[in-house]
Structure 1
Amino acid sequence: MDHQHLESLRKSEIELVKPWFQSGLRVLEVGGGNGFQASVLASWGCHVTSIDLPETSAAATYYPVESYDGQRFPFPDHAFDVVFSSNVLEHVPHLPVILKEIARVIKSDGMAVCILPSSAWRFWTSLTHYVHLARRVGSRFFPHDAVGRGSSSQGTSAKRNWGVLLKRVFFDGPHGAYPNEFYELYAFSRSRWLNVFAAHGFVITSCFRNGLFYTGYAIFPRLSMSQRRHLSRFLGSATWVYVMRPALQRFPS
């Protein structure tokens, strides 16, 4: 999916959570990527700090993204009004650690807003994988250097590369930190995430679909947002939005 297409989707998606990002709030974005969504939050008047892994934060172009070790947030307790993440938590292999950190840095009356892919997104991404492959058949999908040429020392590497390519022909592969794309049909479900958040001490205050249809491949990039909203009624929304607070929060009397 090209950056321009993805950013247009993310812009429409983040507008849904604007009510939780009032001007003047201190916001921590976890998994800032190129800083695009942090720049949107900052344009609303929020004081945004964005963090990501070193290899990702170095590519930030829209907004400064600080590096962290992927586990411990480099901030004191109760430092932020809102912690935000978009399509990030599904990639985290040590999820309990990150959820504990999110709860730690939220202020006593703060919130966490997390956007996560849905089972519908997983299903349609798996199906459109084959459309994507059909579009890439030829030199772009099977580059000449992938099969090796010349000396026999390249033969083993070539066979391995062909094996990987053939596997990708038949299976899309997991999107996040899960065994395979089939397991992700369950892992991305609303019920599973509600259970995960509850098990780690969060209370859900709002949960809703983003109302947009899209897949992991830019198969229909020219669809308008209104068309995507219409399709989501029949084909499912691409993401769920979870708004929550730590269960042990103490609100001022």
Structure 2
Amino acid sequence: MFNIKFLHEIRDWEIKQIIELFPPNAKILEIGGGSGFQAKQLSDLGFEVISIDLPSSNYASERVFPVIEYDGNSFPFESESFDVVFSSNVLEHIHDLEPIYNESKRVLKPDGYAIHIMPSGSWRFWTIIANYIEYFQRIVKSLLKLLVNILRNICHSIKNFFIEIIKLTISYSIPSSHGGKNNAFFEIWTFSKRAWVNHFGRRQLRLESAKPMGLFYTGHMIFGKYLSITKRSRWAKLLGSACIVYKISNSDKK
């Protein structure tokens, strides 16, 4: 189940892992800032941060830092005005990435670079598994609810139970896509490190590094409050990291 507090714990951990990638006193542009949580973290650490997102952001009501709304194509800033362009779990949701790459190159200084954190194929695989675990959890919850209600009204309770089971089965039978471009099973490949490295290569983007974040979690957060960040870090060594951080250089800019 989605939990904004748990999500913030993950995002806090991400920043701590990549903080050394940001130059001292860097001016940072965050794409897809959402609630502005990570922008606030970076700002509190002494960086100059500007965060942008679409007006339709799902996290607009959760804002903790100023987030500028933009059209999703053109960055409303002057050329060569940022040291770093940063995003976390954003690029996989964008259907046409060319404007983002072009605008990033434009607003980055000649020696600047982009840092993008994106979900891995491992995250996609385990999120599919978690989808069915959550399905059975909700079935059990519905059964318990039925048993309680049976004592009140047998026929009505049984009818409602089967209606709920049918709805849950339809909802969970095929895991939903995360990025919106492909189905969930194909995303195991499209979210993989190799797929993104190939993607950047085809667009002649200079990839300096691609490293696992070292944290395990799924998109359903079914064990959110039961597994600490420390335990999730250990699990990542066995089950795979949920995200990979990609660093793209802008040094070839003319």
Question: TM-score, normalization: structure 1?
Answer: 0.84
- Name structure 2 gaps, 5 residues minimum: 143-164
Q: Determine the structure 1 residue equivalent to 2:159.
A: none
Q: Secondary structure at the match of 2:217?
A: coil
CA distance in 2, matches of 1:16, 1:216: 20
Q: Does 1:234 align with 2:244?
A: no
Q: Determine the structure 2 residue equivalent to 1:42.
A: 43
RCO higher in structure (CA 8 A, sep ≥6) = 2
Say whether the 8 Å CA contact 1:100–1:200 is kept in structure 2. Answer: no
Distance change (3 Å), C-alpha of 1:101 and 1:167: farther
Say whether the 8 Å CA contact 2:130–2:220 is kept in structure 1. Answer: yes
How far residue 41 of structure 1 moved from its aligned partner, in angstroms, is 0.8
How far residue 77 of structure 1 moved from its aligned partner, in angstroms, is 1.4
Say whether the 8 Å CA contact 2:112–2:251 is kept in structure 1. Answer: no
How far residue 165 of structure 1 moved from its aligned partner, in angstroms, is 5.6
Distance change (3 Å), C-alpha of 1:63 and 1:203: same
Q: Does 1:243 align with 2:244?
A: no
Name the amino acid aligned to 1:171: I
Q: Determine the structure 2 residue equivalent to 1:125.
A: 127
How far residue 169 of structure 1 moved from its aligned partner, in angstroms, is 2.1
Say whether the 8 Å CA contact 1:21–1:41 is kept in structure 2. Answer: no
CA distance in 1, matches of 2:119, 2:39: 19
- Residue by residue over 1:121-140, the C-alpha shift from the partner in whole angstroms, topping out at 9 and shown as x without a partner, is 0000000101112233467x
Q: Determine the structure 2 residue equivalent to 1:95.
A: 97
Q: Secondary structure at the match of 2:186?
A: helix
Distance change (3 Å), C-alpha of 1:189 and 1:178: same
Q: Does 1:213 align with 2:197?
A: no
- Residue by residue over 1:39-96, the C-alpha shift from the partner in whole angstroms, topping out at 9 and shown as x without a partner, is 1111111110000001227435211000000111111211100000000000001112
CA distance in 2, matches of 1:83, 1:123: 28
- Residue by residue over 1:91-144, the C-alpha shift from the partner in whole angstroms, topping out at 9 and shown as x without a partner, is 0011122121112211101010000000000000000101112233467xxxxx
- Residue by residue over 1:129-179, the C-alpha shift from the partner in whole angstroms, topping out at 9 and shown as x without a partner, is 01112233467xxxxxxxxxxxxxxxxxxxxxx998644221111000322
How far residue 228 of structure 1 moved from its aligned partner, in angstroms, is 0.9
Q: Secondary structure at the match of 1:13?
A: helix
Q: How many residues align?
A: 229
Distance change (3 Å), C-alpha of 1:235 and 1:58: closer
Match of 1:72 among 71, 74, 82: 74
Q: Secondary structure at the match of 1:215?
A: coil
Q: Determine the structure 1 residue equivalent to 2:153.
A: none
Q: Secondary structure at the match of 1:55?
A: coil
How far residue 27 of structure 1 moved from its aligned partner, in angstroms, is 0.3
Q: Determine the structure 1 residue equivalent to 2:145.
A: none
1:1-253 map, 5 Å: 1-56=2-57, 58-137=60-139, 166-221=169-224, 222-246=226-250, 248-249=252-253
Say whether the 8 Å CA contact 1:22–1:46 is kept in structure 2. Answer: no
CA distance in 1, matches of 2:167, 2:33: 30
RMSD, aligned CA: 2.0
Identity among equivalent positions (%) equals: 40
CA distance in 2, matches of 1:164, 1:242: 39
